[in-house]
A = this chain, B = another copy of it.
Amino acid sequence: MQIQFRPIKKVLIANRGEIALRLVRACHEMGITPVAVYSDADRAALHVLEADEAYRLGPAPASESYLRGDLLLDIARRTGADAIHPGYGFLSENADFAEACEQAGIKFIGPPAAAMRELGSKTRARQAADRAGMPRTPGSTKGLASLDEARSVAAQIGYPVMLKAAAGGGGKGMRAVTRDEDLKSAFEAAQSEAERAFGSSEVYLEKLIERPRHIEIQVLADEHGNSIYLGERECSVQRRHQKVIEEAPSAVVSPELRQRMGEAAVRLAQSAGYTNAGTIEFLLDNAGNFYFLEMNTRLQVEHPVTELVTGLDLVHLQIRIAQGEPLPLRQQDIELRGHAIECRVYAEDPDNGFFPSPGKITRLVQPGGPGIREDSGIYEGWVVPMDYDPMLSKLVAYATTREAAITRMLRALDEYVIGGIRTNLAFFRRILRDPDFQAARIDTGYLERLLAQPAPKCPDISTEERERVAAIAAAIFESQRPAATTAAATQSANAWKSAARAEGLR
């Protein structure tokens, strides 16, 4: 087929937070006009501040704002946007929305609706995997019609098994089953949970892989039939099936394995007529066998680690593909260099059951310097809303080796201060100092095991010394209190002097 070049001049960014800002930046870099949208909770967000145009969607709840495809299309038409970038989450994997965009003559920056439907359902994706000759976990490729069918499949592949929702994601509608006796209750529980969560009770059954690593392959496909893979990301460090740390490349993936996984991923994408950026997720067992898990038909949160080791910009490439351009790279042009690690900084309290912690950021000191990239949408004074995902920032460290990337990330974490709300910064320090993580002895169960152990005391500095310093600091802050917010105190040539002034006031 002959695809002609359709230049994109204005992009509506149908998202919020760090990814919306990252998309605004990419548009500016490409001479494209970025149009931001915002809910009432995001009027003061950076993606609104930095965009060229901005329009209100509605109240804070996503269902009344960022999920309102109709409003988004209205705004796109009104402002004359020729494309919409969905980011991740929200409408990014909604085939109906992608279709509505195409019908409105507005380019959806992502795969065609048909490919999204084909690969969006886990059962249909498993069928596609079979057609593409890609290894997958043993088990059913269709929804289970009955408990009896579940029984027979389980007997056939052997326990332990995993029940999963076909429409699933984020661990919902998932049940691990180790013995036949438990299958009935688990089957029913998974069905009802799936019904509630995704409006579909379809569940299927697959062999449970012991201590698997989560390895995913980034693919790019243009509209001229060219597809390439950009190596893998390892996302084994997870909590409640949510990724916490991602890295590229994986410490255990050899060039040969990378090629086999990459070629399988490309086959799957092509078999489904996939275009633009996508990610194929695999489980890797400790024997080095990989099994297809699912495909994410969008840009991933963790795409920066791939950008750093390949030297490419995935968003720029997404937009160029959407313009009908052929891929500017062939597979042999892709070369991985160095190592990148990403920490997902969340507004949550690890010391208190990872309790969410929205609220005002009263103090912000962000790290910088060599090899540090941060994608975030926060600033000092920003009030983190309670209405959305609690991710504050993606802190990424790049260095020549994995070891150097870890020590660099630790350095950046030590520089980082987010005051006023609780975050998981200290939790990352603990993980990055853990010998198992440093030796890359990780799997999807690693973090739960680490959390089961008591947290080690911080090394180097003695508690006594730290508490002495804390006492001195606390006393000085106390002495400053009356003057603390005045410019005078900030500029005070010497804290003692202003302490004196402060006392004088009493």
Which A residues are within 8 Å of any B CB, using their own CB? 21-22, 25-26, 28-31, 50, 304, 307, 311-313, 315-316, 335, 337-338, 360, 366, 368-376, 381, 383, 399-400, 404, 407-408, 410-411, 414-415, 490-491
Contact = CB atoms under 8 A, between A and B. Distances in A.
A407 B31 contact: yes
B337 A21 contact: no
Given A369-B375, A383-B491, A29 B411 contact: yes
A13 to B, nearest CB: 14
Contacts of A491: 360, 381, 383
A449 to B, nearest CB: 27
Contacts of A408: 29
Nearest to A337: B311
State the copy count for this chain: 2
23 contacts: A25-B370, A26-B370, A28-B407, A28-B411, A29-B399, A29-B404, A29-B407, A31-B407, A50-B415, A311-B400, A312-B400, A313-B371, A313-B399, A313-B404, A337-B337, A366-B368, A368-B375, A368-B376, A369-B373, A370-B373, A370-B375, A381-B490, A383-B491
A307 B313 CA distance: 19
A95 B45 CA distance: 53
A26 B408 CA distance: 8
Nearest to A316: B404
B369 A25 contact: yes
A378 B270 CA distance: 50
B338 A369 contact: no
A370 B22 contact: yes
A396 to B, nearest CB: 10
Contact of A304 (B313, B370, B399, B410): B370
User: Which of A26, A370, A383, A407 gathers most chain B CB within 10 Å?
Assistant: A370
A381 B380 CA distance: 14
Given A28-B407, A50-B415, A313-B370, 4 more contacts: A25-B411, A29-B411, A313-B404, A335-B337
- Of listed A29, A316, A371, A490, residue having the most chain B CB within 10 A: A29
Given A304-B370, A337-B337, A28 B414 contact: yes
A369 B21 contact: yes
Nearest to A397: B29
Contacts of A307: 370
Nearest to A22: B369
Contact of A338 (B311, B315, B366, B414): B311
A305 B163 CA distance: 51
Nearest to A414: B28
A21 B366 CA distance: 14
A443 to B, nearest CB: 28
Contacts of A375: 368-370
A344 to B, nearest CB: 16
Nearest to A313: B370
Nearest to A52: B460
Nearest to A406: B29
A248 to B, nearest CB: 14
A400 to B, nearest CB: 6
A155 to B, nearest CB: 51
Contacts of A410: 28
A335 B400 CA distance: 13
Nearest to A307: B370
Nearest to A328: B400
A374 B381 CA distance: 23
